[in-house]
Structure 1
Amino acid sequence: MTDQRAPLIQRGIVDLMIAADRLRFQIEAALRPMGINLTQMSLLNHFSWQPDRAQSITELTDVMAINQPGVTKAIAALADRGLVEKIDDAEDARVKRVKITPAGLEALGQARQAAWPPVEAAFGSLDDEELAAFTSHLVKMKASLAIS
């Protein structure tokens, strides 16, 4: 890194990762009484955007950027609780597709409520303009980190 911006980038990435770690820790603690973790909540959230769409583990691995064993373990835990259902693939008997259940949508709503206080605390010091700018910057960063 010879760029003049390198020290600022290094400071920014350290602060971003520390903030993300702290927020993750607090959200995990808030979700623990529900018996759900942040990975499971993230999967439920992903499914909630298209609740009638069933996806394979491979598709989930790609879109969620979580390794296959991690997705498989999280889906198994959610399925055991009836929050997602596994469906046989119509074209390939080896493949199971997964979709959210009504109970999963309800659990996600409860998880969002439980996770809200630490999220609100993390963003509470930002005014509307700062929050809009921060969100815009995150969208740009996320796009530059797209997994191909």
Structure 2
Amino acid sequence: MSATVSGDAHLASRLSLAVGRLHRRVRIATNDVPPLQLSTLVSIENHGPLRLGELAQREAVTAPTMSRVLMALGHRGLIVRTIDAEDARSVRVALSPEGVRVLAEVRSRRAALLDARLARLSPEQRATLAAALPVLETMVAEEC
């Protein structure tokens, strides 16, 4: 039993290191939008126009931090603010056309970088990676 636990810990450590390094390399190659700003844009894209508080909760940051993020995104023209139809005291934030374009560009550059890295793998390595994807996707799926 302890050999399995030790093996799992070793596997977890190697997986964490490999995924972390790959993520950093991809992020560094497309660093024109800081990580929290990019994550905020994706949250807005995935969940529709959101209030500041909803975004802060989704991104696990404080409201003042999210306010600064939205200010920076607004200065870049990546978001638009509209009055909340349910509460005129609130605003909802949506992607602007420029925000949609920037997200598409970041995704395209990241895909190109990963394509180049995949091209360095042998056909057997690519097949192994493809077979492992469902497991990785299960690991990152949000718990209900």
Q: Calculate the TM-score normalised by the size of structure 2.
A: 0.72
* Pair member with larger Rg: 2
Name the CA shift for 1:91/1:117 in 2 (closer, same or farther; >3 Å): same
Equivalent residue, structure 1, for 2:54: 59
Match of 1:18 in 2: 17
Contact kept, 8 Å, 2:78 with 2:96, in 1: the verdict is yes
1:117 CA displacement: 4.2
Asked whether the 8 Å contact 1:56–1:98 carries over to 2, the reply is yes
Q: C-alpha displacement at 1:123, in angstroms?
A: 4.8
Task: Verify the 8 A CA contact 2:81 2:93 in the aligned structure 1.
Answer: yes
- Equivalent residue number for residue 5 of structure 1: 4
- The CA RMSD over aligned residues, in Å, is 2.9
Q: Go from structure 1 to structure 2 and tell me whether the alpha carbon gap of 1:71 and 1:8 turns closer, same or farther (over 3 Å shift).
A: farther
Where structure 1 has 5 or more consecutive residues not aligned to the other structure, the ranges are none
Asked whether the equivalents of residues 28 and 37 of structure 1 are also in contact (C-alpha less than 8 Å), the reply is no
Moved over 6 A (4+): none
Which of 8, 32, 35 is equivalent to 1:38? Answer: 35
Contact 1:54–1:97, Cα closer than 8 Å, also in 2: yes
- Aligned pairs for 1:1-148 within 5 A: 4-32=3-31, 35-49=32-46, 53-64=48-59, 66-68=60-62, 71-120=66-115, 123-124=118-119, 125=121, 126-128=125-127, 130-143=128-141, 146=143
% identical aligned pairs: 25
**Aligned residue type for 1:83:** L
State whether residues 79 and 93 of structure 2, in contact with CA within 8 Å, keep that contact through their aligned partners in structure 1.
Answer: yes
Gaps of 5+ in 2: none
Deviation at 1:5, TM superposition (A): 2.8
Partner-residue secondary structure (3-state), 2:30: helix
- CA 1:17–1:86 in 2, change beyond 3 Å: closer, same or farther? farther
Report the count of equivalent residues: 139
